[in-house]
Structure 1
Amino acid sequence: MKFSSNRLSIAEVKEMDMVDYLFKLGYEPSKIRYPDFWYPSPLREEKTASFKVNRKLNKWYDHGLGKGGNLIDFAILYHGCTVGEFLQQLGGDLSLQKPLIRQAVDEDKPENQIKVLQEFSLSSYALLRYLEQRRIPVDIADKYCREIRYELAGKNYYGIGFKNDLGGFEIRNPYFKASSSPKTITTINNGAKEAAVFEGFTDFLSFKSIHKNEPEDRFDFVVLNSVSFFEKARPFMEQHDSIRLYLDRDTTGRNYSRYALSLNEKYKDESTLYQNHKDLNDWVMNFGKAQKKQLKPRL
């Protein structure tokens, strides 16, 4: 499936997370000192990581080349294309986030796969603090998530794991996000007539915290774990009388919401609830801050 091939604006592309974009191209950071993510340069051959992404600024700098900039600056060097060619090609397939020209790392090779070593109840201070910062109650997270110890490229890491229908995990920690194979959707079937649909599990957990006093069987749930699984989720979603979409407010999420509304009148776009935020969890994290700022007494 493709959406309109209309060219995306430069501002829209600059909103794309640089670390996520490099991950989709097959690049993992070799060192993280937040907000700096260090990589062996994707633009040249090197053994020592000297390519830095500042995630807070969403900018990169290659110390070996003495060049840096935003995602578009990187893309025209990496893909060997013009700005116009890059924007045009993204316009058709941005929702799927496919590498445009080359896949730098073969993700099917064993050395590039995540191996889950252990899973247990959430307990690490850093992860509990991460949940607190995202305003997700620990008791709700503990019901649907596990703490994961996993191996990647010979190194061990840990994170919050959310299991999908095939037994793989979506894994998050304060500095990184990853997935273990197999990757697919997560469905929760309570026998309800309504389904609530989310892109990621932090939005799902935020929804559960907002509706914590409602009956468990009011909704069935779908967590796509990637919007590219939307078609895969349709058979389960469309069994329901009503399908409430809580997708991200970025270009991809809005495109999928519009696409869903064109398919069937069962679909309802609920993202207007958080229209000035990037997703439901972002809205929950910032809820009330604007009001507090307005109420602050003048000096």
Structure 2
Amino acid sequence: MIKEIKSIPLADFLSRLGHEPTAKKGARLWYKSPLRQEHTPSFKVDTLLNCWYDFGLGKGGNIIDLATELYQSTDLSYLMLCITDNIPIQSVQTVASSLHQRHSAPGMESFEVVPLEHRALVAYLQQRGIPAHIAAEKCKEAHYTVNGKSYFAVAFGNINGGCELRNKYFKGCRGRKDISYLPWSRDGPSTECAVFEGFIDYLSALTLGIITGNDVVVLNSVVNVNKAIPYLNGYTAINCYLDNDNAGRTALSELTALYGTTVIDRSSLYSGFNDLNEYLINQYSPINKNDNENKQYR
């Protein structure tokens, strides 16, 4: 089980967390550190050895060592869940979940949820293309401590009372991992439902204005597909905005096997991009905006 976790390519794990290399030199990838804020990349990943080293912190190791730093915990079962939430390995996910239920992580203390107002969190979402008014309407702000240190993150609730947590340096969950279900209900029951892997993609769809009138299911991890099934019955259309990767395609296949032609793959909208948020960022980044403006004068 530990061997399976350690075999996960660090580059894939970092990519799922939103970190891409700035340079490649042979088998070495260089990143801006995911553990702290920096301008000059000093975080190295050796793809042959599948290990990392942060020159600014003087720390390194394997994927579990990285998760220890990212999630501020030494509870192995909790770290395994955090890793497999991003890179699903079903056998590990099942065992880790069982262990975690018996031995809960030393987790987040003094947990408090308030309206989303912190400038750093609003700026983080704006960097991902999400306007402040949409973020404030759909998300909250969580403050908590781990091992005596204070943290804060964007919070997005699920049906079990848990919270998906995100900030520039952290991706995790407080409480039990589950789906989020958001009925449209403005003009009565909706006949269509939109399905997203994560809430950032959901916020991206709201920003793009492409899901008006749809009920919404946010999986919060592709391993939660089965948990979504009771909520998807009865719709005339299930519009899927899943990632353009193996995990997203597998989830789409599972839903199609259950609901047939009711399932509509909407990923062609962001063809060439990994997910809807990446498409949004590319469409509305200042660089692209300037390029489009320059084209008008050529």
TM-score (norm 1): 0.66
CA shift for structure 1 position 248: 1.1
Is residue 217 of structure 2 the alignment partner of residue 222 of structure 1?
A: yes
Instruction: Classify the secondary structure of the residue corresponding to 1:276.
Output: coil
What does residue 278 of structure 1 align with? 274
Is residue 144 of structure 2 the alignment partner of residue 150 of structure 1?
A: yes
**1:168 pairs with one of 157, 162, 165:** 162
Unaligned stretches of 5+ residues in structure 2:
1-6, 18-30, 37-41, 67-86
Is residue 242 of structure 2 the alignment partner of residue 247 of structure 1?
A: yes
1:209-262 deviations in Å (ceiling 9; x for gaps): 1118x75xx110000111111011012112211000011112111221133223
Which of the pair is proportionally richer in helix? 2
Once residues 91 and 43 of structure 2 are traced to their aligned partners in structure 1, the CA distance between those partners, rounded to angstroms, is: 20
Greater relative contact order (CA < 8 Å, ≥ 6 in sequence): 1
Instruction: Classify the secondary structure of the residue corresponding to 1:236.
Output: helix
What does residue 190 of structure 2 align with? 192
RMSD: 3.9
**2:128 pairs with one of 126, 129, 134:** 134
Count of aligned pairs: 235
Once residues 283 and 196 of structure 2 are traced to their aligned partners in structure 1, the CA distance between those partners, rounded to angstroms, is: 19
- Paired residues of 1:53 and 1:59 also in contact (CA < 8 A): no
Once residues 137 and 293 of structure 2 are traced to their aligned partners in structure 1, the CA distance between those partners, rounded to angstroms, is: 37
**Counterpart AA for 1:61:** Y
Once residues 107 and 54 of structure 1 are traced to their aligned partners in structure 2, the CA distance between those partners, rounded to angstroms, is: 31
**Counterpart AA for 1:270:** R
Is residue 62 of structure 2 the alignment partner of residue 60 of structure 1?
A: no
CA shift for structure 1 position 194: 0.2
CA shift for structure 1 position 99: 3.5
Q: After the TM superposition, which of the residue ranges 163-172 and 111-120 deviates more from structure 2? A: 111-120
- Paired residues of 1:195 and 1:243 also in contact (CA < 8 A): yes
Instruction: Classify the secondary structure of the residue corresponding to 1:142.
Output: helix
Once residues 130 and 117 of structure 1 are traced to their aligned partners in structure 2, the CA distance between those partners, rounded to angstroms, is: 21
User: Structure 1 residues 114, 98: closer, same or farther in 2, change over 3 A?
Assistant: farther
Instruction: Classify the secondary structure of the residue corresponding to 1:287.
Output: helix
Once residues 249 and 43 of structure 2 are traced to their aligned partners in structure 1, the CA distance between those partners, rounded to angstroms, is: 27
**Counterpart AA for 2:147:** A
CA shift for structure 1 position 291: 7.7
Instruction: Classify the secondary structure of the residue corresponding to 2:274.
Output: coil
What does residue 200 of structure 2 align with? 202
Once residues 196 and 187 of structure 1 are traced to their aligned partners in structure 2, the CA distance between those partners, rounded to angstroms, is: 10
**Counterpart AA for 1:260:** L
Instruction: Classify the secondary structure of the residue corresponding to 2:161.
Output: coil
Once residues 62 and 136 of structure 1 are traced to their aligned partners in structure 2, the CA distance between those partners, rounded to angstroms, is: 30
CA shift for structure 1 position 143: 1.1
User: Structure 1 residues 115, 197: closer, same or farther in 2, change over 3 A?
Assistant: farther
Once residues 180 and 144 of structure 1 are traced to their aligned partners in structure 2, the CA distance between those partners, rounded to angstroms, is: 17
TM-score (norm 2): 0.66
User: Structure 1 residues 69, 114: closer, same or farther in 2, change over 3 A?
Assistant: closer
Once residues 97 and 169 of structure 1 are traced to their aligned partners in structure 2, the CA distance between those partners, rounded to angstroms, is: 22
CA shift for structure 1 position 121: 1.1
CA shift for structure 1 position 19: 8.3
User: Structure 1 residues 249, 69: closer, same or farther in 2, change over 3 A?
Assistant: farther
1:83-162 correspondence to structure 2 within 5 Å = 95-96=88-89, 98-99=91-92, 107-108=100-101, 109-115=103-109, 117-162=111-156
CA shift for structure 1 position 208: 1.0
Runs of 4+ deviating beyond 3 Å: 12-15, 18-21, 52-55, 68-71, 94-100, 105-112, 288-298
